[in-house]
Amino acid sequence: MLTRIQSLFAIHLVAILFGATGIFGAIIQADAWMITWGRALFAVLTLVTLNRVFTAMGRQHPQNGASWRTHWLAFAVSGGMLALHWVTFFHSVKLGGIAVATLGFASFPAFITLIEALFLREKVGGPEWLRLLLVSVGLLLITPSFDWADQGTEGLFWGVFSGAAFGVLAVINRRTLSRVNAFHVAGIQNGLVFLLLLPWVLPTLRTVSVHDWLLIAALGVVCTGLAHWLFVSSLRQLPARTAGLVVASEPLYAILFAWILFSQVPTGRMLMGAVVMMTAIFSASLAVHRQKTESAR
């Protein structure tokens, strides 16, 4: 088990690894479908290996009180949402670049708010609607142009679509699958992505270069399987909201990586939009953390 200091280091490493996902999407020459399928394949292999290691060491993660077998429909829908989220995200990277794709995806908290308010009839207060407005303003600021023929604008659209899919996935995980072992959730969802995309990638498997396979393997093992293990392990020592607050910095790491590695220098407007969006996301995490702290007193 990680100590608290190790957990803090691990959760920051998770944010960096998640931020590096867009880098892999930019340098892998295969299409978004192949990247997603390969990522899921290597993530499953990593999670299975870690599970066996934990079992051999007598440190297997315990069940949280619910079996995955009783939630097959939620798994089916969430697996589809995960596949949609990843495919649209990598497509966004190919079209609009790393910064645009990552910031588009970062809109997912706004979609969670909308889903909870419009479909689940949960009460959403004024501060949440204000944050939703801030995210919308941030998206307008980072939009390269308002011309659909602009590749950057199309890329942003797919990034936002990726955020919407992730928002649905997050709501399902929180409301239906929260009591199922986290490793089982991750393994099954990644396995479903692998199976769902298999018919689309089979015809092009032979066209993927060895170099791309190595990069896809690194993406699946390090940025997916290992990152998820670190995230789950850190939650044993850290409050979930603290971990979420750190992981929310993922777009900042992605923009920094794109700036250093690919000279994708963000414009002043894009930086302003990023600040507006990150302010909304961080304030939401802080508000929930503060509310939880006060209720515990």
Are 142 and 103 in contact by the 8 Å Cβ rule? The answer is yes
Nearby residues of 263 by Cβ (< 8 Å), 6 or more positions away: none
pLDDT at 292: 54
Distance CA 228, CA 18 (A): 10
Distance CA 86, CA 83 (A): 5
Mean pLDDT for the stretch of residues 163-181 = 84
pLDDT at 253: 85
24 vs 234 pLDDT, higher one: 24
pLDDT digits (tens, 9 = 90+) for 210-235: 999 999 999 999 999 888 878 777 76
Q: Please check the confidence at residue 103 and state whether its pLDDT lies above 80.
A: yes
String of DSSP letters for 51-117: HHHHHHHT-PPPP-SB-GGGGHHHHHHHHHHHHHHHHHHHHHHHHH-HHHHHHHHTTHHHHHHHHHH
Please give the helix or strand (H or E) that residue 206 lies within, else none. Answer: none
Neighbours of 269 (CB within 10 A): 13
Which two three-digit tokens encode residue 207? 């066209």
Helices (H), 176-267: 182-201, 210-220, 227-234, 240-247, 250-262
pLDDT digits (tens, 9 = 90+) for 119-158: 777 776 777 788 778 888 888 887 777 676 788 889 999 9
3-state secondary structure of 2: coil
Q: Please check the confidence at residue 175 and state whether its pLDDT lies above 90.
A: no
Dihedral-angle region of residue 65 (phi above 0 means left; psi in -120 to 50 means alpha; beta otherwise)? left
pLDDT mean across residues, the chain: 83
**pTM (two decimals):** 0.84
pLDDT digits (tens, 9 = 90+) for 32-55: 999 999 999 999 999 888 878 877
Please give the helix or strand (H or E) that residue 289 lies within, else none. Answer: helix 268-296
String of DSSP letters for 131-142: HHHHHHHHHHHH
pLDDT band at 197 (very low <50, low <70, confident <90, very high): very high
Q: Please check the confidence at residue 63 and state whether its pLDDT lies above 70.
A: no
pLDDT at 117: 78
3-state secondary structure of 230: helix
Are 108 and 84 in contact by the 8 Å Cβ rule? The answer is no
228 vs 26 pLDDT, higher one: 26
Distance CA 135, CA 166 (A): 16
Are 87 and 33 in contact by the 8 Å Cβ rule? The answer is yes
In one-letter notation, the amino acid at residue 266 is P
Domain ranges (residues) in the chain? 4-296
pLDDT band at 241 (very low <50, low <70, confident <90, very high): low
Residues above pLDDT 70, as percent of the chain? 86
Distance CA 51, CA 47 (A): 6
pLDDT band at 23 (very low <50, low <70, confident <90, very high): very high
pLDDT at 38: 97
pLDDT at 243: 66
Among 10-19, 32-41, 58-67, 104-113, the range of highest mean pLDDT: 32-41
